[in-house]
Amino acid sequence: MAHGKRYFTTKGFVKNPISTIMLATFVGMMVMFLVMSAGIGVIPSMLGLFAGIYLVYGFQVATIDYELSRDGVRQTIRRLIPYRLSKKESQRLIRWEDVKSYKNDTDFSRRRQEYEYIKLYLRTKPREIWITNQQNKHGFDEFKLAFLEAVEKVSEAPESEVSSSEGEWKHTVESRSPRKVKIKRKKSFYKTWFAKILTGFFIFLCAAIFAWGTINGWKLTHSIRFGAILLPGTLYMAWRVFVKEEDDEKYEDNP
């Protein structure tokens, strides 16, 4: 059996990426409107938009070291702005008993490239942790192997301990919780019924738009949007939902 490495360094979001992106957009828009209300001009307003977004990202995006420890997943976080100003870093431990489930899957990025990720669903804040291979693919692949091995050992161990003599996982893990740790793996979104329904809707929508454009004539902007945005996304979803085979590992749907 191949063994991975328990250490991994990458750049990523400190908290939930979706909430961070929403916050950055909100702050950027607020700064832009404030500059516009001052009557300074369009260019300063756009600069205010980007400055607000960068400010949020500067505190919520970081270089993160991940380490699989006997207690859980340990993070060393170096946020972009604080670390550049004062070399300040922080640490956070995600205990195994606080991880209720995880997902290991692939998805399609805005750059039209497929990337792989591990998503942890937690019982405590920040509720979700995303780890992707977009910045360090080789390091991610090795870390993923070690993570999957660690989760298997933790989930199969007795209530009070997890032990192993294989690979780099050579110590006893003592749970601080009296209950047995059971970390479930969630199935891919693309293998859910909702994904099938959503993909069917987008296939129908693409067919309807194509028929309408053929009958009434395409405008250049409409054809670009259809060919560059809607159609590739729909084709990717159809491939993931109806064609690509996922691994045959047993999944748990419960969150």
Instruction: Identify the three-state secondary structure at position 22.
Output: helix
Residues 142, 24 within the same domain: yes
Provide the domain limits for residue 212: 190-243
pLDDT tens, position by position, 62-92: 999 999 988 899 999 999 999 999 988 999 9
Which residue among 186, 210, 233 closes a domain?
Answer: 186
Task: Note whether 139 and 196 are same-domain residues.
Answer: no
Residue 157 lies in a domain: yes
Both 177 and 89 in a single domain? Answer: yes
Give me the residues paired with residue 107 across strands: 115
Q: Extract the tokens encoding 244.
A: 């690509």
Same domain, 149 and 95: yes
Average of pLDDT values for 99-110?
86
Are residues 175 and 200 part of one domain?
no
Locate 215 and state its tokens: 């009958």
Q: Is the pLDDT of residue 133 over 60?
A: yes
Note the pLDDT of residue 55: 93
Round to whole Å and give the CA distance between 126 and 143: 21
In sequence order, the β-bridge partners of residue 119 are 103, 130
Instruction: Kindly indicate the confidence band of residue 248, based on its pLDDT and cuts at 50, 70 and 90.
Output: very low
Q: 167: number of CA atoms within 13 Å, CB side?
A: 16
pTM of the model: 0.73
**Eight-class DSSP state of 210:** H
Query: Does residue 255 lie within any of the structural domains?
Result: no
Reduced to 3 states, what is the DSSP secondary structure of residue 67?
strand
Choose among 130, 166, 123, 132: nearest CA to 146.
Answer: 166
Query: Which parts of the chain fold into alpha helices (H)?
Result: 17-37, 42-60, 80-86, 137-156, 193-216, 220-225, 231-238
Containing H/E element for 180?
A: none
54 and 172 together in one domain: yes
pLDDT band at 50 (very low <50, low <70, confident <90, very high): very high
Residue 104 counted as domain residue: yes
- According to the model, what pLDDT value does residue 30 have? 92
Stretch 42-63: mean pLDDT: 91
pLDDT score recorded for residue 177 = 45
Mean pLDDT score, 217-224:
76
- State mean pLDDT over 124-135: 88
| Closest by Cα among 30, 23, 31 to 60 | 23
Cα–Cα distances (Å) from 214 to 152, 218, 229, 233, in that order, read 54, 7, 18, 21
Q: Write the DSSP symbol of residue 196.
A: H
For residues 162 and 78, state if they share a domain: yes
Query: 236 vs 193, 205, 211, 225, CA distance in Å?
Result: 17, 15, 21, 16
Distance CA(34)–CA(31), nearest Å, equals 5
Alpha-helix runs per DSSP H in 72-229: 80-86, 137-156, 193-216, 220-225
- For 253, other C-beta atoms within 10 Å of its C-beta total 9
pLDDT of residue 3: 57
- In this structure, the chain runs to a length of 255
Residue 221: CB atoms within 10 Å: 8
136/1: higher pLDDT: 136
Please give the residue that has the higher pLDDT: either 200 or 38. Answer: 200
